[in-house]
Amino acid sequence: MNDYNNFDQNYQPVPSQPYSQEQQKAQKKKKRRTTAAVAASIAAVVIVAGGAGFGGAYIANRTSSSITYESTDGENSNSSSVKDTPTLNEMQQNVSIETSDSRSGEIEFNSDGTYAYTRDLVRAVKDSIVAISNYVDNGYQTGYSKGSGIVISTDGYIVTNNHIIDDGIINCEVTVTKTADDGTETKETYEAKLVGTDERTDLAVLKINAKNLTAAKLGDSDKVSPGDDVVIIGNPILVGSDVLELTTSVSKGVVSGLNREISATGQGLTSIQTDAPINGGNSGGAMFNGYGEVIGIVDFKIVSENAENLGFGITINEAKQVVEDLISKGYVSGRAMLGIVYQNITQSTAYFNGMTPGLYVTEIKNDYPVATSGLVVGDTITEIDGDSVLTNDISTILANKKPGDKITLTVVRNDGMRERKVNITVELGEYKGD
């Protein structure tokens, strides 16, 4: 059964094995789940999302000729609205990234205002990157997930990837690094609350009860050009007989391309491509430009015998409105939703069970306009606005629709005597995170 809306994912999580008891004991503080992008052991092209843990790998056809999406990596409670919270722009108004170099006494900048030395940029922004750990129980395995996040407000709002925040989250913790003027680092761990999550864009927002954090400055990804320098900071993980965590790890490269439409980022989003190294655990970390501003949120990479250094991040401009809605509403507004639950009946299933191929309606939600449209449980939807649901993904069919738009469903209905075809006009409702 699928809870039908217009942004169902085209890829599904493929769980890895949880740690053995010996490995769990070795992790005295926390178990951790790990997706370890084990690209070297896969001959196929692999798209690796930068998260770590079971459920962190998204695989679509793992064969020698296929392309695979794997997460660079989740308390998944019902997303609820957060009242009386400032807007994202208000949170960003007082964010400053210029700090003094504790070794030289001052920072050097290039003539265009970018940092002259990467080390100064890193010192200024690295404390805005946090480590995220989740204890997960998905019904048949338990373990820990691991990923990265970006502090976007001094009072503890954090943006990360949705694929890090999976179903079954029992506890979510965020570890924050604070660096003193003399370079001494201290780490504090906070319990995190899930503010909102969005599968379509692979984004999520967490909140921790903390003050005076180092918040990242969000830049303008529309001003990014191929060849611009980019610095990535996150928390990669190496998995083997032992689990090696490399917190606050820095890699550097350039912007290799823009407006890359890769489905692992979620539907309707474009990506920034970079040659900067990305590894498991980097998901949710930041792509910084030369000014120390976030221009992208690390999401995944492609690994192949015939390709190297193909990393991707969600553009920050596209992420801003999603993050704003998740903070203020707990869901992304303006999304059209039909409001039914259905079972997908394939050609083969239909043949062997004497059914009609299509979307077999099993439930109609009463709080959506479809409830008064004439559609009934037991109907099978075969077309939407003339497009076959067998050859077209529904999320694609409805991608450009808005709440209030009307669509025509072609339905096959069995009245007990015979099957007949019916056309039903339905008004789309608004998805509200339900």
Residue with tokens 């008891």, as numbered in its chain: 21
Indicate which residue of 79, 133, 153, 163 is catalytic: 163
Q: Is 65 one of the annotated active-site residues of the chain?
A: no
User: What is the Cα–Cα distance from 158 to 236, expressed in whole angstroms?
Assistant: 18
How would DSSP label each residue in 351-362? HHHT--SEEEEE
Q: Is 202 one of the annotated active-site residues of the chain?
A: yes
* Residue 118: exposure state from Cβ atoms within 10 A (0-12, 13-18, ≥19): middle
Q: What percent of the chain is helix, strand and coil (3-state, nearest 5)?
A: 15, 40, 45
Largest CA distance in the chain: 87
Amino acid in position 103: R
Beta bridge partners of 243: 239
78 secondary structure, DSSP code = P
Indicate which residue of 79, 283, 328, 373 is catalytic: 283
Contacts of 314 (CB under 8 A, 6+ apart): 201, 202, 203, 265, 266, 269, 271, 272, 296, 297, 299
Residue with tokens 């308390």, as numbered in its chain: 75
Indicate which residue of 198, 202, 299, 325 is catalytic: 202
Q: Is 182 one of the annotated active-site residues of the chain?
A: no
Torsion from C-alpha of 347, 349, 353, 358, nearest 10 degrees: -60
Active site residues: 163, 202, 283
